[in-house]
């Protein structure tokens, strides 16, 4: 019976963790990007979202002139362009295989520069970069080599559980410098098409409705798709919801089956002790005493099994989180300890309630049996 | 002390299939008696004992303990009655295997809601000495022989100084010598404390240990 | 106790064999030096170190199976716990694996080894606890 509790609690917690973890990631990534609307070339929504979520580099382009058109729309408080580039495979062996590079314009940027100010006290100079949490300088070296060009890593952003963790942010200036020198320094040149940008990040004035601005953008700027912040990662969210529905179904079925099995197992176990319980009754134990003892025993087993199940599940998820991310194709970050503790308590409570309910009927039956009957055979 | 007034017990195996364990029986047991009930298996003697102890409800008739109808009491009252006034010795090994001998003897104190609790420990030791097992206080049931286990059960039954001792085939699993020892012990207890004893057995040879004996067959007492 | 022995034997096999299939070298990745020589990365060396710990663990498991003495179990358990801790430390602090989370040594090999290490410590702790149980109860 403890095993049942183990499984129920473990399964429930696993589900909760995975779902929460993903929500967590998406939220953090969204915050990091800092924009109300991201405008990307038409038809590239999935590519861009995948790049941001999973760190699979992509290169998409649209005319630089779109920037001015977007900035001119009433309600737009700020608009800044970004370039999406990727490094060569195995840029520097073991730090990251193929990095997603995001180049931003320090003059109009409103997401990265403020963060930089608070972290290192200034913006990035030529040849400097900011990395996601997994980006770092390989051992024994001073800088990261990109297309043969040495870039100094100035800071790392906090973990988001998404592809941003493996991305690098540099200024337009640095990116163009790298491109310029790459034909000589690198195996393959870095090519940035003339007068092109990859996306425009838009920040809206307070109180402005993102949907109306999006509509306006579509009207005024051909060949682009605006993605509003809440709709960010929409494809993933839908996938998740679908997954959530089927998982809840499985969870529900598991609970019911577990409940039945627990009832059965408990019934058999209690039956074997029928005689012992009859003896106790003969010595003066009341029916309630026997009932309480049986339920207490069930609860303790539930707690033990549940705790073991939860501990094991949390451990496995924590250890294998990278594998989980890569297998499922969506980002994941464990919730912080306080929240985790609450979720664990809920899981434990679930196991406890489930087991006690299931044990209730056999326990009642046996405790209210006539002692003489209990002692037969 | 004990009155069985037209008591019967019927077990229903199915709608049509009934087992009449005890047919309308009237019996009176006086205080201080050592009653031996004999009979073959299936004669209803165990059921009769269970009825006396209040461990099973009569299908008809009344069971009176000192004039009090057992089945008009609440579950708590009945349990307390069993705890303080009746000591029971079962046919099967009834010691809890995970407790030591001493702990087993002390079991009845768990269910007492009066002062008997505190007096338990010294009395338990005293009883273990009386049954000759003072050196086995911390032994586990599996470390004791069948005869020794039964003696511990007797000590347990006597812990709360009951007025009535009920024994259901206490020697059926034992060899002859041990049987004699146990029966001698019963006799000694009876002489020492004047406690009322009702003992059920299939062996008619043991009749001589008691002050009175009755024989049961087919759910009825034979005369 | 026998169960613990069996568990330890199984775990020792996993610890020894898992790295062979999940380190970077098994995936064909290695460091190519300036002079053209191919040198394995540190995940490979972690795997070798784990193999070296797996061997005494295996023997320990067997000793759990064939022994009957309470004191022996106690000592074996303590040894087991130490081996378990070492198994955990090798891919984390002592030698480590590749830093890139995308690589299989980081996402698969390391967690497997840590998990096995934890299970070894748990199993040994249970063995230790059992060796302290009351004298008359069978071990």
Predicted confidence (pLDDT) per residue in B170-219, tens digit: 888 788 888 888 888 888 888 888 888 988 888 888 888 888 888 888 77
Domain assignment of residue C15, yes or no: yes
**Summary mean pLDDT of chain B:** 83
Identify the pLDDT of residue C85: 92
Asked if A322 has any chain C CB less than 8 Å from its own CB, the reply is yes
Tokens 């309910």: give the residue.
Answer: A357
Cβ–Cβ gap C100/A134 under 8 Å: yes
For an interface test with C, give the residue of A92, A94, A141, A311 to mutate (most C CBs within 10 A). Answer: A94
Interface A-B: count of C-beta contacts within 8 A: 58
Distance CA B12, CA C112 (A): 60
State percent of chain B over pLDDT 90: 0
Sign of torsion, CA A359 A361 A364 A370?
negative
Q: Where are the domains of chain B?
A: 2-222
Identify the pLDDT of residue C29: 67
Given a cut of 50, whether residue C118 has pLDDT beyond it is yes
Asked if B80 has any chain A CB less than 8 Å from its own CB, the reply is yes
A63: left (phi over 0), alpha (psi -120 to 50) or beta: beta
The residue count of chain B comes to: 223
Contacts of A275 in chain B (CB under 8 A): 92, 94
* Low pLDDT (below 50) residues in chain A: 91-95
Quickly count: other Cβ atoms within 10 Å of residue A212's Cβ: 12
Q: Are strands A196-197 and A62-63 parallel, antiparallel or unpaired?
A: antiparallel
The DSSP annotation for A333-375 comes to: -PPPHHHHHHHHHHHHHHHHHHHHHHHHHHHHHHHTS-HHHHT
Mean pLDDT is lowest, of A40-49, B7-16, B198-207, C28-37, for: C28-37
- Work out the average pLDDT over C88-92: 88
- Which residues of chain C are at the A interface, by a Cβ-Cβ cutoff of 8 Å? 31, 41, 98-103, 106-108, 110-111, 114-115, 118
Distance CA B153, CA A283 (A): 11
Asked if A287 has any chain B CB less than 8 Å from its own CB, the reply is yes
Identify the pLDDT of residue C82: 92
Distance of CA B185 to the CA centre of its chain: 14
pLDDT confidence bin for B115, thresholds 50/70/90: low
| Residue of A233, A96, A103, A113 lying closest to A166 (CA atoms) | A96
Boundaries of domain holding C94: 2-26+40-132
Residue of C nearest to A54 (CA): C102
SS3 content of chain C, % helix, strand, coil (to 5): 75, 5, 25
Non-local (6+) Cβ contacts of B145 within 8 A are: B178
For an interface test with B, give the residue of A282, A290, A370, A375 to mutate (most B CBs within 10 A). Answer: A282
Distance CA C3, CA B172 (A): 40
Asked if B79 has any chain A CB less than 8 Å from its own CB, the reply is yes
Chain A nearest-CA distance from B97, in A, is 10
Given a cut of 70, whether residue C105 has pLDDT beyond it is yes
User: What is the ipTM for the molecules in this complex?
Assistant: 0.86
Asked if A373 has any chain B CB less than 8 Å from its own CB, the reply is yes
DSSP collapsed to 3 states, A220-262: HCCCEEEEEHHHCCHHHHHHHHHHHHHHHHHHHHHHHHHHHHH
Q: Which of A275, A285, A287 sits opposite B111 (nearest CB)?
A: A285
pLDDT confidence bin for C139, thresholds 50/70/90: very low
What backbone torsions phi and psi does residue A238 show, to the nearest 5 degrees? -65, -40
Identify the pLDDT of residue C34: 63
Chain B nearest-CA distance from A364, in A, is 15
Cβ–Cβ gap C111/A134 under 8 Å: no
Distance CA A177, CA A175 (A): 5
Q: Is A128 helix (H, G, I), strand (E, B) or coil?
A: strand
Cβ–Cβ gap B107/A280 under 8 Å: yes
Answer for the pair A375, A278: CB distance below 8 angstroms, yes or no.
yes
Residue B188 is encoded by which pair of tokens?
């000694």
Contacts of A326 in chain C (CB under 8 A): 102, 107
Q: DSSP class of residue B95?
A: S
Q: What's the structural domain count of chain C?
A: 1
Identify the pLDDT of residue C95: 83
Distance CA C110, CA C18 (A): 10
Cβ–Cβ gap A281/B80 under 8 Å: no
Distance CA A189, CA A178 (A): 9
Asked if A372 has any chain B CB less than 8 Å from its own CB, the reply is yes
What backbone torsions phi and psi does residue C5 show, to the nearest 5 degrees? -60, -45
Contacts of A376 in chain B (CB under 8 A): none
Beta bridge partners of A224: A41
Distance CA A199, CA C44 (A): 42
A360: left (phi over 0), alpha (psi -120 to 50) or beta: alpha
| Residue of C127, C85, C123, C125 lying closest to C8 (CA atoms) | C123
Residue B219 is encoded by which pair of tokens?
């759910």
Distance CA A135, CA A163 (A): 11
Domain assignment of residue C137, yes or no: no
Given a cut of 60, whether residue B116 has pLDDT beyond it is no
Q: Which of B56, B57, B82 sits opposite A284 (nearest CB)?
A: B82
Alpha helix segments (H runs only) across chain A? 2-33, 45-54, 65-71, 112-120, 172-185, 210-220, 234-272, 274-282, 287-319, 321-328, 337-367, 371-374
Q: Is A20 helix (H, G, I), strand (E, B) or coil?
A: helix
For an interface test with A, give the residue of C111, C113, C125 to mutate (most A CBs within 10 A). Answer: C111
Asked if A376 has any chain B CB less than 8 Å from its own CB, the reply is no
Identify the pLDDT of residue B114: 65
Q: Which of A282, A287, A370 sits opposite B82 (nearest CB)?
A: A282
Cβ–Cβ gap A322/C100 under 8 Å: no
Cβ–Cβ gap A282/B55 under 8 Å: yes
Chain A nearest-CA distance from C37, in A, is 15
More reliable by pLDDT, A87 or C55: C55
Domain assignment of residue C16, yes or no: yes
- Its CATH class, for the domain covering B2-222, is alpha beta
Distance CA B217, CA C4 (A): 57
Distance of CA A43 to the CA centre of its chain: 25
């Amino acid at each position: 019976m403890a095993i049942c509790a183990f499984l129920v609690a473990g399964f429930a917690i696993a589900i909760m963790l995975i779902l929460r973890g993903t929500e967590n990631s998406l939220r953090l990534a969204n915050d990091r990007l800092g924009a109300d609307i991201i405008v990307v070339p038409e038809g590239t929504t999935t590519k861009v979202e995948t790049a941001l979520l999973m760190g699979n580099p992509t290169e998409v382009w649209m005319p630089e002139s779109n920037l001015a058109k977007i900035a001119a729309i009433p309600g737009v408080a700020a608009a800044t362009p970004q370039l999406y580039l990727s490094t060569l495979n195995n840029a520097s062996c073991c730090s990251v295989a193929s990095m997603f590079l995001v180049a931003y314009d320090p003059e109009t940027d409103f997401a990265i520069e403020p963060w930089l100010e608070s972290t290192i006290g200034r913006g990035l100079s030529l040849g400097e970069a900011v990395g996601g949490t997994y980006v770092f300088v390989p051992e024994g070296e001073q800088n990261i080599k990109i297309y043969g060009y040495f870039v100094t890593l100035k800071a790392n952003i906090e973990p988001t559980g998404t592809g941003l963790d493996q991305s690098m942010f540099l200024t337009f200036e640095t990116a163009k410098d790298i491109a310029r020198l790459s034909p000589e320094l690198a195996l393959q040149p870095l090519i940035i098409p003339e007068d092109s940008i990859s996306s425009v990040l838009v920040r809206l004035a307070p109180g402005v409705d993102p949907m109306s601005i999006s509509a306006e953008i579509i009207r005024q700027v051909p060949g682009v798709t605006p993605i509003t912040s809440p709709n960010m990662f929409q494809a993933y969210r839908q996938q998740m919801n679908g997954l959530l529905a089927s998982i809840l179904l499985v969870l529900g079925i598991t609970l019911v089956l577990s409940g039945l099995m627990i009832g059965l197992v408990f019934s058999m176990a209690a039956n074997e002790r029928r005689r012992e319980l009859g003896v106790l009754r003969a010595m003066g134990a009341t029916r309630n005493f026997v009932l309480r003892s049986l339920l207490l025993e069930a609860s303790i087993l539930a707690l033990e099994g549940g705790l073991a199940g939860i501990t094991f599940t949390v451990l496995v998820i924590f250890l294998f989180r990278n594998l989980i991310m890569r297998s499922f194709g969506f980002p994941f970050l464990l919730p912080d300890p306080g929240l985790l503790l609450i979720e664990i308590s809920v899981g434990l409570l679930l196991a406890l309630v489930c087991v006690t309910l299931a044990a209730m009927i056999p326990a009642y039956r046996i405790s209210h049996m006539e002692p003489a009957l209990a002692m037969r055979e | 002390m004990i009155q069985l007034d037209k008591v019967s017990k019927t077990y229903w195996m199915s709608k049509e299939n009934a087992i009449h364990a005890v047919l309308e029986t009237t019996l009176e047991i006086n205080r201080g008696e050592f009653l031996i009930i004999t009979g073959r298996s299936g004669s209803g003697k165990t059921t009769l004992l269970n009825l006396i102890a209040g461990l099973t409800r009569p299908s008809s008739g009344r069971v009176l303990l000192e004039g009090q109808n057992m089945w008009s009491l609440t579950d708590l009252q009945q349990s307390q009655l069993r705890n303080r006034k009746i000591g029971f010795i079962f046919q099967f090994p009834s010691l809890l295997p995970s407790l030591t001998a001493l702990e087993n003897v002390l079991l009845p104190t768990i269910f007492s809601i009066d002062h008997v609790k505190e007096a338990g420990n010294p009395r338990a030791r005293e009883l273990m000495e009386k049954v000759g097992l003072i050196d086995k206080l911390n032994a586990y049931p599996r470390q004791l022989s069948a005869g020794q286990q039964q003696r511990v059960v007797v000590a347990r039954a006597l812990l709360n100084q009951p007025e009535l001792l009920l024994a259901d085939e206490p020697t059926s699993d034992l060899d002859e010598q041990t049987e004699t020892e146990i029966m001698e012990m019963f006799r000694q207890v009876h002489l020492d404390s004047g406690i009322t004893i009702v003992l059920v057995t299939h062996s008619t040879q043991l009749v001589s240990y008691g002050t009175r004996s009755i024989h049961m067959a087919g759910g009825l007492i034979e005369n | 106790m026998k169960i613990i022995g069996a568990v330890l034997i199984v775990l020792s096999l996993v610890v020894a064999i898992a790295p062979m299939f999940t380190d970077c070298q098994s995936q064909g990745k290695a460091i190519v030096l300036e002079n053209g020589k191919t040198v394995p990365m540190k995940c490979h060396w972690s795997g070798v170190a784990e193999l070296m710990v797996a061997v005494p663990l295996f023997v320990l498991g067997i000793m759990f199976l064939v022994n009957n003495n309470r004191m022996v179990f106690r000592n074996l358990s303590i040894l087991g716990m130490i081996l378990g801790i070492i198994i955990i430390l090798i891919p984390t602090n002592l030698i480590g694996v590749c830093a890139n989370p995308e690589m299989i040594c980081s996402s698969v090999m390391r967690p497997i080894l840590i998990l096995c290490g934890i299970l070894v410590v748990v199993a040994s702790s249970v063995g230790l606890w059992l060796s302290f149980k009351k004298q008359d109860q069978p071990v």
